[in-house]
Structures are given as structure tokens and as C-alpha cells.
């Protein structure tokens, strides 16, 4: 715990230095009972862009403000939230979206300033404008900093550029062996290092594998061979020799579609599947397409042959609900038109019943990118209909959007230009609901993986 202060006000943050998924306890002491205390948080994130949030509280009868107990009367978020001053942050440049440090192993440092101010009744009623005109009490301030890390002490990072693969391997401290997770990104492409670093920090050998928009990789998702990912899993097994031969797949969005497809295609190689906002269907290349092929062109190849997708020979599919009208656009509106062709849906279904391991699905009730709640239910129903013998978990988060990641990061930037197509879209959701989904999903994923590893261990004859 660290703090600095002047006058009688003391602000503390506990713990001062920990992993990003650890909540911090922010407490102000020494205020006058009933005083208005404003907390302002500032974090320099990727590219040096500062993100900020503020919240004004009323001190209790003991002159204490506790962010994990008290709801602000005005500010960047509402309701009780220990980490509200982090997830409600917005970028000062008004446009940045990358919230993780560069490089990923660098720390994120947030500075919080507490200031006692005089405010009127409008601020007590939650009027942000009134709160912004509150007058500070000279000299009655305190500040504290806390550090969030994606990589725990002893976690190692290695660039992988071999066997035709492009990725990054993060290993936990210690000799191991450790169970392994391969991490796949969605239609933005690239290499998902933040999630891999956090998996490694929680005890998993984590391989973030890029498959387009990465070093030596194609610029687009079109015509991606599934054998590339099998080669990635084989490399991971040879390299880290995972405990109990456990290799899980974790994928986001198109990566969520992909991990289900890989589990069904290479069932002997996949120990467990974690699909964040996934699809039950194979989709066309969509916004990540090669423009020469088009967004209705194919995405996945197996044995050099295209896999049928939902837009192929679809009698009802229309891009109009996505293309028309002012931005931001909701991609999900176009996806829903494709589901009205039952024959096309059946042709494009991922045969998830072939997966030979536990499955976890995390979906969003207000997903602006595609209907991940519906898709996840389609997966669980198909698994149930085929008597899937392994655990199946589905967490659906009401009012949350497409960007479910992990705690505790800003969740405010809902509108974005797609990294490939440039189309201005919204992932949907509300910042508080997205923050809730980030927190609960990560706790559930860790429990799911621990159970999957434990279930795997006896079958391998290892302790």
C-alpha cells in the first residue's frame, strides 16, 4: 500500500502493485463528515495517450470514502464499483482504443488524486455539470498510484517465427510442466499478447498465434487453412510438453468461431475450448476480407477445399441493415438476415458435437457485431442433442457488447473503425455491463480451465 498526502486527507490504494485482474481498494480518510470528495484517475496507456475518469463521493460520518462500498453522487460511472475509476476511463484524445501497454510486459500506472470540494445540492443529486463546478478546498488533497501488470514476475516472453508460424509464447515462472492454452484473435487480426500474458501469469503456457495481419502473414482472413492452426498446436506440444498433454484453445469473435471449428476438426489435439462471443456457424470473410475476393468470399480452407459458410447461396442474407444509414453501424443486423434461410444455416453449422472436451461460451446480450447470445445457445443445444459427455458452460451477459476481455480495463470506447475494412461500427453494450462481463467472465474461465485440467490429469496417468 502506498500513499502521499497533505493536510488531513489520506488516500490509499491496496494492493499497490499487482496483476491487472486484481481489484484495488481505494479509500480516503480524514475528510470532514459529509464533505464532497472527488477522485480523479489518470492512466497513460498505449502510445502515451492519457485516459481519465472522475467520481465525486460524500464522506461518511467518520470522514471516510471507500470506492468498494460507496456509490458516487456524480462522475464517470454510477453505482458501487471498486474499479469504476478504471473501467469508466475515456481517452483524452477522444479516439484511442488500445488500452494495453506497449510492450505488453510494461506496467500500467494509474494515479488517483483525491480532493475535497464544496458542492451544491445539484451535485448531490448526481448532476455532473454541477459537480464539475465544485470548488476545491485549498491544500486538502491526496494522491496515490497503483500499478497493473499483465505479466507476473518470472513470466517470460518469446517471439515465435518458425515452422511458418507467427506468434508469441508466454511461459509461467518455474520449470513446469504447465498446461497450455493457444490464444487466437478475431477479425482485427494480429497477435493477442495481452491475453496470453495474463494466462501465463495464472499458470498456463500461453501461445498467442497470429494468422493474418502479423509478421510474415497475409493481410486478410480470406483463404485461411485450418492446417496452419494444427501446426501451431503441434509446435506448442513439442516446445512446452504441456502437463497432461493439455492444450486448450481460447478465441475471441472470429477466433471464437475458429476455436469451435478447430475443436470439431482436430478433436484429438484440442483438450478444451473457450469461445468468447463466438459463432455457431462458419462465416464468410466479412470485414476482414481481401477486397479482391470480397466480404462474401470464403474464410476457412481444409485440405485445400473451402468450407461452406452462412452467406453462401443464402436466400435471405442482406448487407443493407449494416451498410445503410448513418454510422456507427451494427454488423449483427446483417447477420440476423442470414439466419432466416434455414437450409443455409444447416450447411454452415459447425459440427461441435465432434469436440472431445469441455466447452465454455461467453456471450453478450447486446452484441453489435453478431448475435453471440443466439449463436452460443445454438452451440449448447447442439451439444445437448448429441449427448456431449464433457462439461458445457455458457455465460450470457445482459446489456454487454462484443468486447468481453478481462478485468480491469476501460470499457467506454464502443464505436470503432474496423481494423481491416475501416467501416465505422459499434460492438454494442454499455460500459458498466461490459465491465461486469469482463470481471465475471475471467473468473469463470479460470475456474473452467482448472476443472478441465484436473479432469484431464487422471486419464494421462499423471499426478
112 plus 164 within the same structural domain: no
- Of 88, 253, 369, 441, which is the active-site residue? 253
* pLDDT one-digit tens code per residue, 168-184: 999 999 988 999 999 99
Q: Where are the alpha helices (DSSP H) in 251-326?
A: 254-265, 320-323
How many residues are recorded in the chain? 463
CA distance 41 to 111: 6
Check whether residue 297 and residue 338 sit in a common domain: yes
Please check whether residues 243 and 221 belong to one and the same domain: yes
Q: Which of 402, 425, 432, 438 is catalytic?
A: 402
The pLDDT, as a whole number, for residue 140 is 87
Asked whether residue 358 falls in the same domain as residue 334, the answer is yes
Look at the chain and report how many structural domains it folds into.
2
CATH of residue 209's domain is 3.40.50.1820
- Taking every pair of Cα atoms in the chain, the longest distance, rounded to a whole number of angstroms, is 72
98 is catalytic: no
For range 95-120, the mean pLDDT? 89
Residue 385 clears pLDDT 90, i.e. is over it: yes
User: Using one digit for the tens of pLDDT, what is the confidence trace for 227-273?
Assistant: 999 999 999 999 999 999 999 999 999 999 999 999 999 999 999 99
- Model pLDDT, residue 8: 86
Q: Does 264 lie in the same domain as 122?
A: no
Last residue in a domain, options 132, 149, 166: 149
- Pick the catalytic residue from 341, 366, 367, 438: 367
Same domain, 105 and 163: no
Same-domain status, 450 and 313: yes
- What nine digits make up the cell of 364? 453478450
pLDDT of 438 higher than 60? yes
Q: Is 402 a catalytic residue?
A: yes
**Full residue range of the structural domain in which residue 30 is found:** 4-149
Please tell me the distance from the alpha carbon of residue 411 to that of residue 29, in angstroms, as a whole number: 29
pLDDT per residue over 188-213, tens digit each? 999 999 999 999 999 999 999 999 99
Q: Has residue 7 got a pLDDT over 60? A: no
Last residue of a domain, one of 100, 115, 149: 149
Whether residue 293 is found in the same domain as residue 398: yes
Distances (CA, A) of 241 to 178, 246, 247, 458, 463: 8, 9, 10, 17, 15
pTM: 0.93
Q: What percent of the chain has pLDDT over 90?
A: 88
pLDDT of residue 139: 53
The closest of 428, 422, 376 to 402, measured between CA atoms, is 428
Could you tell me the CATH number of the domain that includes residue 111? 2.60.40.2240
pLDDT digits (tens, 9 = 90+) for 450-461: 999 999 886 544
User: Last residue of a domain, which of 121, 149, 177?
Assistant: 149
Mean pLDDT value across residues 310-323: 96
Residue 392 contacts residue 383 (beta carbons within 8 Å):
yes
Question: 117: pLDDT confidence band, cut at 50, 70 and 90?
Answer: confident
Q: Which of 233, 194, 242, 240 is nearest to 211 (CA)?
A: 233
Same domain assignment for residues 419 and 309: yes
- CB-based contact 413:90 (threshold 8 Å): yes
Q: Is the model's pLDDT at 135 over the cut of 90?
A: no
Known catalytic residue at 373: no
Same structural domain, 145 and 262: no
Do residues 144 and 4 make contact, with C-beta atoms less than 8 angstroms apart? yes
| pLDDT of 127 higher than 60 | no
Who has greater pLDDT, 243 or 120? 243
Same-domain pairing of 455 and 362 = yes
User: Where would I find the H helices in 74-118?
Assistant: 84-87
pLDDT score of 123: 39
Which pLDDT belongs to residue 118?
62
- Residue 134 has a pLDDT of 44
Phi, psi angles (nearest 5°) of residue 185: -85, 175
Encode pLDDT of 18-46 as tens digits. Answer: 999 999 999 999 999 999 999 999 999 98
What integer pLDDT is reported at residue 457 of this predicted model? 83
* Same domain? 140 vs 161: no
Amino acid at each position: 500500500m502506498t500513499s502521499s498526502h497533505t493536510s488531513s486527507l489520506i488516500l490509499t490504494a491496496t494492493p499497490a502493485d499487482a496483476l491487472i485482474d486484481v481489484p484495488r481498494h481505494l479509500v480516503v480518510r480524514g475528510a470532514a463528515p459529509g464533505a464532497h470528495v472527488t477522485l480523479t484517475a489518470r492512466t497513460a496507456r498505449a502510445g502515451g495517450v492519457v485516459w481519465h475518469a472522475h467520481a465525486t463521493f460524500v464522506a461518511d460520518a467518520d470522514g471516510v470514502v471507500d470506492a468498494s462500498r460507496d456509490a458516487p453522487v456524480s462522475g464517470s460511472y454510477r453505482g458501487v464499483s471498486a474499479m469504476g475509476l478504471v473501467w469508466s476511463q475515456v481517452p483524452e484524445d477522444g479516439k484511442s482504443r488500445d488500452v494495453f501497454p506497449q510492450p505488453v510486459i510494461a506496467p500500467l500506472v494509474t494515479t488517483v488524486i483525491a480532493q475535497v470540494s464544496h458542492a451544491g445540492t445539484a451535485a448531490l443529486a448526481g448532476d455532473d455539470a454541477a459537480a464539475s463546478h465544485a470548488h476545491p478546498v485549498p491544500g486538502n488533497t491526496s494522491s496515490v498510484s497503483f500499478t497493473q501488470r499483465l505479466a507476473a514476475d518470472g513470466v517470460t516472453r518469446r517471439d515465435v517465427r518458425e515452422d511458418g508460424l507467427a506468434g508469441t509464447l508466454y511461459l509461467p515462472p518455474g520449470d513446469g510442466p504447465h498446461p497450455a492454452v493457444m490464444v487466437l484473435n478475431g477479425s482485427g487480426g494480429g497477435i493477442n499478447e495481452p491475453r496470453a500474458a495474463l494466462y501465463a501469469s495464472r499458470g498456463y503456457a500461453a501461445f498467442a498465434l497470429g494468422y493474418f495481419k502479423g509478421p510474415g502473414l497475409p493481410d486478410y482472413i480470406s483463404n485461411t487453412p485450418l492446417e496452419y492452426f494444427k501446426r501451431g498446436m503441434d509446435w506448442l506440444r513439442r516446445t512446452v510438453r504441456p502437463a497432461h498433454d493439455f492444450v486448450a484453445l481460447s478465441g475471441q469473435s472470429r477466433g471464437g468461431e475458429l476455436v469451435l471449428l478447430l475443436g470439431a476438426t482436430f478433436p484429438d489435439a484440442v483438450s478444451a475450448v473457450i469461445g468468447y462471443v463466438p459463432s455457431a456457424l462458419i462465416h464468410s470473410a466479412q470485414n476482414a476480407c481481401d477486397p479482391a475476393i470480397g466480404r462474401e468470399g470464403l474464410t476457412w480452407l481444409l485440405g485445400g477445399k473451402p468450407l461452406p459458410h452462412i452467406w453462401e447461396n443464402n436466400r435471405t442474407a442482406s448487407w443493407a441493415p449494416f451498410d445503410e444509414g448513418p454510422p456507427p453501424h451494427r454488423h449483427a443486423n446483417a447477420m440476423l438476415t442470414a439466419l432466416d434461410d434455414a437450409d443455409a444455416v444447416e450447411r454452415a453449422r459447425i459440427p461441435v458435437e465432434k469436440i472431445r472436451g469441455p466447452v465454455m461460451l461467453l456471450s453478450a446480450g447486446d452484441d453489435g457485431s453478431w448475435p453471440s447470445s443466439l449463436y452460443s445457445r445454438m452451440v449448447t443445444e447442439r451439444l445437448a442433442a448429441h449427448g456431449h459427455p464433457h462439461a458445457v458452460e455458457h455465460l450470457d451477459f445482459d446489456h454487454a457488447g462484443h468486447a468481453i476481455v478481462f478485468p480491469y480495463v476501460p470499457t467506454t470506447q464502443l464505436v470503432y473503425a474496423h481494423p481491416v475494412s475501416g467501416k465505422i461500427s459499434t460492438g454494442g453494450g454499455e460500459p458498466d455491463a461490459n465491465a461486469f462481463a469482463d470481471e465475471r467472465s475471467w473468473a469463470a474461465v479460470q475456474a473452467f480451465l482448472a476443472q478441465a485440467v484436473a479432469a484431464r490429469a487422471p486419464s494421462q496417468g499423471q499426478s
